[in-house]
Structure 1
Amino acid sequence: MPPAGTPGTLAERLHALVSAPRAVDDLRSYFGTGPHTGTTPFTGSRFEGLGGGGERSDTACKITADDLVAVQMLSVRIPARTALDLLEGGLGQQIEDFLRQIPTGLDLVDAEPARIGKGSPADRAWHLLVTQPKVGWVTASKLLARKRPRSLPVYDQVVRCALGSPSRFWHDLRVALRAEDRAIHRRLLELRTAAGVPDTVSALRVCDVVVWMRHRGDHTSRKCPGLDPSAPDE
């Protein structure tokens, strides 16, 4: 699973971020909707939908060239040799075997803990990917999020920093989404509708975009002091 960090109150941080007045406009800016229609959206707006999506029925358990291009929409690149191994070699077969054990169409908020816990097919696929040359935890998370966008989240340094470096991100995020009768999950769906973002975009992706947009301009790599989600919007 994604790397450990300093524990934080993830539910409180997420609640503050998704409740912020700027959340809807950040989504509209990212996806090019509402008053931003006609402007150039972020390339990541095509991450889930490119080529029919990673969960489309005929390729839901296979890594395809579309998947490799899609992760580039989120500013990461899988090295050529690893890409070939994913497309044509034993690595691709191993990942396919794991993906066959991870259901499609399952939201993280509805997933049993065993689906994302230590030793689960998702966890084993993640660990297999990060052992590949020049494939770190960010790239591994993004590739798996492409294949199972509703249950496995996009995760990178900006989001990790903004959320206080939760110790077990998949698990902690699931707990946060389920808290208070799934209040944060329901809020994410409301934000998606309010921003005019297509229903094909998962609640997890809405969450990722809201958090990333809030902190991307202020994040300063390893020396970043983090984000105070309760601070007033600028």
Structure 2
Amino acid sequence: MRPEHSLGEIPADWPIPDQAALAAAHDAALDALKDTELAGRRLGRYYDPMGKFAGATYRTVLPNDPGQIAAADLFAVTLLSVRLRPAAVRRLLEDERHSDAVQRRLSAVPGDADLAEANAATLIDASALYEDVKRALASPKPAKSDPWVTASKLCARKRPSLLPVRDRKVRELLRIRPRSDHRRDWLIHRGLMRDSTIRRLLHDARSNATTEAGSRVDVRDSPLRVLDVALWTHAIKLDAS
């Protein structure tokens, strides 16, 4: 019989993933991390400062003020293969209605908040931040404009220990159903970050990070971000590219 996956304190009205969904995500993450030497090589390729991937630059490009979204943040997310339309950039940086709302939301979410242990109030504030960022990014014209990937990557840069990057590859790997609510996605990631086996494997994979030439790579991103990279590089079979 499978053990139940702990989710901790959850806002009362959030859509909670069932144990089957949590178990499926857990199994997929275990598959990505169980060979910690292979996972480490993948991390090494991603974080190699001489390599072709964003690595830590997504986080370290400056300035990175936790209290506001600036041009450097928008540049950083483009390193993760997203496109920002000029109108969306203007709404985030120049439109006071959007930029002031996002700044207020950022001030409500602690900069050091951690997804594994965040309380319900922090999760609610983080969700409001994500929605405001997505609203600023969305085109007001197309009825189906839903820039959830870009919003996720931008919010994850501002709160790297709290908010997962979320993209299609990782969601598919974790067997998250299409059009899943971001709050449900976060709780699936929360279940992974609260799991002792996942944390141990992630630690070991990080310790094994090396370049193709065998040089050590210092992976300093938050554990949540490193988990995302480990899952993404497994999903695209980076070792075979």
CA distance in 1, matches of 2:146, 2:206: 31
The answer to whether residue 87 in structure 2 is matched with residue 76 in structure 1 is no
Report deviation, 1:110.
Answer: 2.3
Q: Which runs of 5+ in 2 are unaligned?
A: 1-13, 140-144, 210-215
Aligned partner of 1:138 in structure 2 is: 149
Aligned residues of 2:40 and 2:207 also touching (Cα < 8 A): no
Runs of 5+ unmatched residues, structure 1:
34-38, 219-232
Q: What amino acid is aligned across from residue 109 of structure 1 in structure 2?
A: A
Question: In the alignment, which residue of structure 1 is the partner of 2:119?
Answer: 112
Q: Report the identity percentage.
A: 32
Relative distance call for 1:87 and 1:186 in structure 2 (3 A) is farther
Q: Counterparts of 2:217 and 2:119 in 1: how far apart (Å)?
A: 28
Residue 51 (1) aligns with residue 58 (2): no
Distance 1:81 1:127, change over 3 A: same
Shift of 1:69: 0.2
The answer for the alignment partner of 2:107 in structure 1 is: 100
Counting only pairs closer than 5 Å after superposition, residues 1-234 of structure 1 correspond to structure 2 as 7=21, 9-20=24-35, 21-32=37-48, 39-52=50-63, 54=64, 59-89=65-95, 90-116=97-123, 120-131=124-135, 132-133=138-139, 134=145, 136-165=147-176, 168-179=184-195, 182-195=196-209, 196-198=216-218, 200-216=220-236
Aligned amino acid, residue 26 of structure 2: A
CA contact (8 A) 2:110 2:122 kept: no
Over 3 Å counting, the alpha-carbon distance change for 1:60 and 1:107 in structure 2 is same
Give TM-score, length-normalised by structure 1: 0.77
Check whether the contact 1:151–1:204 (CA below 8 A) recurs between aligned residues. Answer: yes
Offset, 1:151? 0.8
Inter-partner Cα distance in structure 1 for 2:54 and 2:235: 18
> What residue number does 2:10 align with?
none
Contact 1:26 1:210 in 2 (8 A): yes
What's the Cα RMSD here?
A: 2.8
Instruction: Return the offset for 1:216.
Output: 1.9
Give the TM-score taking structure 2 as reference length.
Answer: 0.75
Q: CA deviation at 1:197?
A: 4.4
Q: Do the aligned residues in 2 keep the contact of 1:149 with 1:202 (CA within 8 Å)?
A: yes
Pick closer, same or farther for the CA change 1:12–1:115 going to 2, 3 Å. Answer: farther
Residue deviations 1:125-149, cap 9 Å, x none? 2222333215511011000001001
Spell out, residue by residue over 1:80-122, the C-alpha distance to the aligned partner (whole angstroms, 9 max, x if none): 1221221122211111111111111222122224432xxx121
Q: 1:148 to 1:128 in 2, by over 3 A?
A: same
